[in-house]
Amino acid sequence: MSKGIFITGTGTDVGKTYVTGLIVKKLRSSDINAGYYKPALSGAEFVGGKLIPGDCKFVADIAGLPIPPQALTSYMYEPAVSPHLAAQIEHRPIEPDVILADFIKFSRQHDFITVEGCGGIVCPLRLDDKILMQTDIIKLLNLDLLIVSSAELGSINSAVLTVRYAESLGITVNGLILNNYDDTNFLHKDNRNSIQRITKLPVVACVACHAAHLDMETTALCNLYKEV
C-alpha cells in the first residue's frame, strides 16, 4: 500500500520545489522508499543539448533519487509559460489518463509519493476544446494538499485564499509549510499564528532561507500522506 500527497503553493516561485526536495530528502534519509512525481512541467531548459525538467532535477539531486529527471514527469514543455499555453504551443495536450497511469506506476514503485503541482492552486493544464484544471488532477489522483507559502507580508491573504479555494472544491488541505521563514522576524511569526488561526490548519513546518533539512519529525511528516 502506497501513500501520496500533492504539494501546491500560494503561487509560482514560492518554493514548492525547494520544500518538496527537503521533504523527499527527509523521508529517504529515514530509509523510506520515497519518490517524486511532477505531472506537467513548463520552462524546461536545454543543458548540454538535452531538455532538462528543472524541478525534477532539483528534487532528484537534493533527495538522491536514482532516476533520470526526465522520467519523473509526464509532460515536459520548453516555453516558460502556464502549462496549458505551453501545451498549445507545442501541440501536445495534457491527457488526465496519462497522468493517472503514470501516478499509479510511481505509487507502485514507492511507499511514499510526493506530487508537485505547477504554479498555484488555480492553474489551467488545458484550455482548448476541453478545460482541464490542476484541481481536476488533484481530485482524479484523490490526494490531499500540503500548501507551501512564503512567510512575508501578504502571506495571510494568499495562504487563506489558497486553502479556501481548495476546500470549496472539496479538496482536503492537511497543512501548510512556510518557506523562507525567519524565526527572529515578528511579522513572520505573526503570519504563522494568523494563518493557523484563520484557516484552522497547522503550519506543519517552517523552512529557513538555504535550509538543508526539513525541521519536522518523520512520523508527523508521514502522517500527512494518505493511502492511494
Ligand X SMILES: Nc1ncnc2c1ncn2[C@@H]1O[C@H](COP(=O)(O)OP(=O)(O)O)[C@@H](O)[C@H]1O
Query: Under the criterion CB under 5 A, does residue 17 sit at the interface with Mg ion?
Result: yes
Task: Kindly name the residue from 25, 26, 38, 57 that is annotated as catalytic.
Answer: 38
Closer of 2 and 65 to ligand X (Cβ):
65
Query: Under the criterion CB under 5 A, does residue 150 sit at the interface with Mg ion?
Result: no
> What is the binding site for ligand X (CB under 6 A)?
9, 12-18, 179-180, 207, 209-211
Beta pairing partners, 76: 41
Residue 183 CA to residue 206 CA, distance in Å, equals: 9
* Least distance between ligand X and beta carbon 152 (Å): 12
Q: Which amino acid is at 134?
A: Q
Closer of 16 and 26 to Mg ion (Cβ):
16
Are the C-beta atoms of residues 99 and 137 closer than 8 Å to each other? Answer: yes
Identify whether 38 is a catalytic site residue: yes
* Least distance between Mg ion and beta carbon 129 (Å): 28
Q: At what angle do helices 16-29 and 54-63 cross, to 10 degrees?
A: 30
* Least distance between ligand X and beta carbon 6 (Å): 13
Q: Which does 18 bind (CB under 5 to 8 A by kind): Mg ion, ligand X, none?
A: ligand X
Find the residue with minimal CB distance to Mg ion.
17
Closer of 123 and 141 to ligand X (Cβ):
123
CA angle 67, 10, 76 (to 5 degrees): 35
Q: Determine the 3-state secondary structure of 152 from DSSP.
A: coil
Q: Which amino acid is at 186?
A: F
Residue 162 CA to residue 154 CA, distance in Å, equals: 13
Query: What is the footprint of Mg ion within residues 45-74 (CB under 5 A)?
Result: 55
Residue 221 CA to residue 57 CA, distance in Å, equals: 23
Please pick, from the candidates 2, 5, 6, 16, the single residue that binds Mg ion as defined by CB under 5 A: 16
Closer of 38 and 126 to ligand X (Cβ):
38
Number of residues that bind Mg ion (CB under 5 A): 3
Helical H segments across the chain, by residue range: 16-29, 54-63, 83-89, 96-109, 134-140, 155-168, 186-199, 218-222
Residues contributing to the site for Mg ion (CB under 5 A): 16-17, 55
Active-site residue set: 38
